[in-house]
Amino acid sequence: MENAVKRIGVLTSGGDAPGMNACIRAVVRSANARGIECVGIRRGWQGLIAGDIMEMDNASVSRIINRGGTMLYTARSDEFRTLEGQKKAAATCKLLGLDGLVAIGGDGTFRGALALSRQAAEAGEHLQVVGIPATIDNDIGCSNYTIGFDTACNTAIECIDKLRDTMQSHERCSVVEVMGHRSGYLALYVGVAIGATAVLVPERPYDFEKHVAEKIRRARLSGKTNFMIVVAEGAASGMAVGEEIRRELGLDPRVTILGHIQRGGSPSAKDRVTATRMGYEAVQLLAEGKTNRIVCTSGEQIVNVDIDEGLAMTKTLDPEEFEVMTAMTGR
Ligand code: F6P
């Protein structure tokens, strides 16, 4: 069957995530294997407005599958939020002869892809767009997994395991703030994996007495003298929780904000493989003439949904996983 597209662009946008490079590689190699040309757009939507491009052939994506970050750079663009910016981006696509685009990132990236697709359609241009979810937050409603989440969890776990050594030696309380934007997935997984005393997630309203003080008390009563409190950035500020522990419980906690270190590092096997499968699927969709789709996971399967529908979907924490976390932290 003939490909519906001849030349496609690929870009990464929003916060970077480990596995983005593996995804770019998969898009380029899947396209080339089908005889579709591929153009790299640097610096996300801002780069598309500016025509900041690079040639992408199989060799250009060699030795990146194991690298964190994104070889195409990423940015958050205010200009692209305006109609004028979207028109400029559509004009770049026309100038370059792009008839397809793969946008790798989070929900802001998908909103951008949809806006671009509408602008191109209004201008009478043929431009198919497909989004791929990549964010350490795992907060995309239509996909139960997003590229980068597994690596970010492992990075946080490695850091907290190190913290635990010194906290145990000093018999201290440690408060660790992890990323996740408005989602508690990262905190929940990390909390379960490190055996946290308490885990605070934005999906459950913060109650210091119930979710922190009582957990620490019970741990102390069971003989523990060091406590690990994991706080999702969207639930509370690690600093504020530390202060409350000092004030209300008389402990001398240490607060660590893991911050952007969670976004770096070599992607895990899960992220490399998922990114590669998603990149392959995106090119397949474009080749088949599909547009306005988000590649996503349903269980272990790679599937796809309409962008509009996907963006309207919301995600809550998995009830079974939340239940396990609650049980492990003493209810
Ligand atoms: O969306 C990914 C993420 O790392 C969030 O977890 C965090 O809230 C945000 O990006 C940080 O963004 P910035 O890189 O702009 O500081």
Please give the structure tokens belonging to residue 284. Answer: 């397949």
**Neighbouring residues of 210: CB distance < 8 A, sequence distance ≥ 6:** none
Is the C-beta atom of 179 inside 6 A of ligand 1? yes
Distance CA 118, CA 98 (A): 15
Ligand 1 centre to CA of 97 (Å) is 33
pLDDT above 70 for 247: yes
Q: 142-146, long-range: CB within 8 Å, 24+ apart, which pairs? A: 142/294, 142/296, 142/305, 142/309, 142/310, 142/311, 142/313, 143/294, 143/295, 143/296, 143/297, 143/310, 144/296, 144/297, 144/298, 144/299, 145/274, 145/297, 146/17, 146/106
The per-residue pLDDT for 330 is: 80
Q: Are 102 and 116 in contact (CB under 8 A)?
A: no
Compute the average pLDDT of residues 285-296.
Answer: 98
Say if residue 165 is exposed, middle or buried (CB neighbours under 10 Å; 0-12, 13-18, 19+): exposed
Q: State the pLDDT confidence band at 148, using cuts at 50, 70 and 90.
A: very high
In the 8-state DSSP scheme, what is residue 241? H
Question: What's the half-sphere exposure (Cβ side, CA atoms, 13 Å) at 76?
Answer: 6
183-237 pLDDT tens trace = 999 999 999 999 999 999 999 999 999 999 999 999 999 999 999 999 999 999 9
| For the chain, percent of residues with pLDDT exceeding 90 | 99
Residues serving a catalytic function are: 137
Residue 64: count other Cβ atoms within 10 Å of its Cβ.
17
Q: State the pLDDT confidence band at 1, using cuts at 50, 70 and 90.
A: confident
Which amino acid residue places its CA nearest to atom 13 of ligand 1?
15
Phi, psi of 103 (to 5 degrees): -110, 120
Compute the average pLDDT of residues 277-297.
Answer: 98
Compute the average pLDDT of residues 2-16.
Answer: 97
Is the C-beta atom of 278 inside 6 A of ligand 1? no
Q: State the pLDDT confidence band at 331, using cuts at 50, 70 and 90.
A: low
Is the C-beta atom of 293 inside 6 A of ligand 1? no
215-225 pLDDT tens trace = 999 999 999 99
Compute the average pLDDT of residues 294-323.
Answer: 97
| For the chain, percent of residues with pLDDT exceeding 70 | 100
71-118 pLDDT tens trace = 999 998 999 999 999 999 999 999 999 999 999 999 999 999 999 999
